[in-house]
Chain A
Amino acid sequence: MNYGAGNLYSISLALEKLGAKVKVTDSPAVVKSAGAVVLPGVGAFDEAITNLLRLNLLPAIKKSIEDGRPFLGICLGMQLLFYKSEEGKRNGLGIIKGRVRRFRGAEKIPHMGWNRVRCEKEIPLWKGLPHFCWMYFAHSFYPQPEEESIIAGITDYNTVFASMIWKDNIFGTQFHPEKSGKDGLLFLKNFVKLCRR
């Protein structure tokens, strides 16, 4: 989904390389008809919400998720699913209960570079990956879901935070699988496989 934020080129190239048919779009109609939705994103929380509202994309995203189609939110694209973020004043989509918090106390902010994700759950997207895998991060805010049961991966950066969430058909990563080399591509390949089912 294209809503004026982030490096869309990398994620669409990665998914195409893995055999997915990708359409970069800002049209609610296309989102509604798609078999799966990927919401990428870097940039600011409020601006992203403003753009999604302006493009009238929120109902389409909600519909797609309610219909049970696979959804992958990456970085800001995952954070937008929450109620609130300390980065902005606007409300998020409110699909996942909880808040997005700012890192405090870490030596360096943003949390930028490769860190390990510990798989907390057996989920299809982790298939074939090591229990601790290296993924690429670039962010200053992290998600704090209310329901601990949806945490599928955790990462330690001064604070231990949820770097991967999973609830039914919703997958969200704080890391960038499209920039995480071999392991990242395997993760995305698992997502593409799941979408084919």
Chain B
Amino acid sequence: MLAKRIIPCLDVKNGRVVKGVHFRNLRDAGDPVQNAAFYSREGADELVFLDITATIENRETVVDMVKKTAAEVFIPFTVGGGIRGIKDIEVLLKSGADKVSINTAAVKNPDLIKQASEKFGSQCIVSAIDARKSGKNKWEVYINGGNTPAGIDAVKWAEKVEKLGAGEILLTSMDRDGTKDGYDLQLTRAVSEAVKIPVITSGGAGNLKHLYEGIAKGKADAVLAASIFHYRTYTIRQAKEYLRKKGIPVRI
């Protein structure tokens, strides 16, 4: 049986791991490669790096980080942030990233997902969706690091990226991100039930029960968390033991 995945997320700015609330008030949380190696040893199933600097000048720093990580960490990892086109994707994959996550560029040009999945395979194209509640059972997609409403419905967009060839969805609730109040379970469930590709839920994990709820109630295939792991509130092992006791299949 396929295990539910636990994925620590590393927000990276200028080559350092940082953590903030609602993408703001950033605190330093260490070196990305060291963090990645640590999580891999602890039993993380996968890793996500999100480059939140995402400037053109910064691309080299990111590529360098990807190369160093690939040489030390032998579990899958995804890199996102600042990807503008096919060329950026190719550089990251060739440097050792297993997957890339695309948000703003895909909203502006949905064809990018189609082209990228045809060229590199669906399994390495992750559609990152940042969503904010806009009404009862309605969520709107945000782009540019959560700053700009895109005017599209998150569930409809999820269905569209699946058709275009995305292999996975990384779904972040902007309302919950950094709050430790738990994932937006309604949003997670709405998206998970709308698509056949795996959904990673993100934004709001503050304790182990939240991880369980994301999977059991939100129907997510994977749960992403940052601060509870960065600040060593819980180890990956503790999280997995907890989920296993609750009957969730995990890799231990």
A binding-site residues for B, Cβ under 8 Å:
5-7, 9-10, 13-14, 17, 42-44, 107-116, 134, 136-140, 156-157, 176, 178-181, 184-185
In this assembly, does B222 line the interface, its C-beta being within 8 Å of a C-beta of chain A?
yes
CA distance A140 to B70 in the complex (A): 24
By a CB distance below 8 angstroms, the chain B residues around A13 are 70-71, 96
Residues of B within 8 A of A181 (CB): 40, 74-75
The answer on a CB contact under 8 Å between A114 and B251 is: yes
Residue B167, interface by CB 8 Å: yes
**Chain B residue contacts of A6, Cβ below 8 A:** 121
How many Å lie between the Cα of A96 and that of B44 in the bound state?
35
Cα distance, A130 to B26, chains bound together (Å): 43
Q: Tell me whether B5 and A113 are in contact (CB under 8 A).
A: yes
10 additional contacts (CB under 8 A) given A107-B196, A180-B74, A181-B40: A9-B70, A44-B118, A44-B121, A108-B198, A112-B168, A113-B45, A134-B251, A136-B76, A178-B74, A185-B74
Given A9-B95, A13-B70, A108-B198, A134 and B221 contact (CB-CB distance below 8 Å): no
Q: Closest 8 A-B residue pairs measured CB to CB?
A: A138-B123, A9-B96, A114-B251, A114-B3, A134-B251, A43-B121, A42-B121, A179-B76
Q: Do B2 and A113 have beta carbons less than 8 Å apart?
A: yes
Q: List which B69-117 residues lie within 8 A (CB) of chain A.
A: 70-71, 74-76, 93-98
User: What chain B residues lie within 8 Å of A136 (beta carbons)?
Assistant: 75-76
B1 near A113 with CB under 8 A, answer no
Q: List 8 A-B contacts (CB under 8 A).
A: A14-B74, A107-B196, A108-B196, A113-B5, A113-B198, A136-B75, A136-B76, A185-B74
A186–B2 alpha-carbon span in the complex (Å): 21
The answer to whether B74 touches A10, judged by C-beta atoms less than 8 angstroms apart, is: yes
Binding site for A on B (CB under 8 A): 1-5, 40, 45-46, 70-71, 74-76, 93-98, 118, 120-124, 167-168, 196-198, 221-222, 251
Question: Which of B1, B46, B74 has its CB near the most chain A CB atoms (within 10 A)?
Answer: B74
Residues of B within 8 A of A109 (CB): 196-197
How long is the Cα–Cα vector from A13 to B123 in the complex, in angstroms?
21
Closest to B199 in A: A108
Across-interface contacts of B98 in A (CB, < 8 A): 7, 10, 138, 179
Closest CB-CB distance, B18 to chain A, in whole Å? 26
Shortest Cβ gap from B98 to chain A (Å): 6
- Alpha-carbon distance between A97 and B197 when the two chains are bound, in angstroms: 31
The chain A residue sitting closest to B97, CB to CB, is A7
Q: How far is the CA of A137 from the CA of B1 in the complex (A)?
A: 12
Closest beta carbon of chain B to A165's beta carbon, Å: 20
Whether the Cβ atoms of A108 and B120 lie closer than 8 Å is no
**A115–B1 touching, CB < 8 Å:** yes
Give A46 to B2 CA distance when docked, in angstroms.
28
The residue in chain B whose Cβ has the minimal distance to the Cβ of A41 is B121
A111 contacts which chain B residues (CB < 8 A)? 2
Q: In this complex, what residue of A is CB-closest to B71? A: A13
Q: Are B198 and A112 interface neighbours, CB within 8 A?
A: yes
A112: which B residues are within 8 A, CB to CB? 123, 167-168, 198, 221
Q: Are A7 and B221 in contact (CB under 8 A)?
A: no
List, in ascending order, chain B residues with CB within 8 A of A115's CB: 1-3
Q: What separation, in Å, do the CA atoms of A14 and B145 have in the docked complex?
A: 34
Q: How far is the CA of A137 from the CA of B46 in the complex (A)?
A: 12
A119 to B221, CA, bound (A): 26
Given A9-B96, A116-B1, A134-B3, residue A110 in contact with residue B76 (CB < 8 A): no
Once bound together, how far apart are the Cα atoms of A44 and B165, in whole Å? 13
The distance in angstroms between the C-alpha atoms of A17 and B2, with both chains bound, is 28
Contacts of B76 in A (CB 8 A): 136, 138, 176, 179
Contacts of B95 in A (CB 8 A): 9
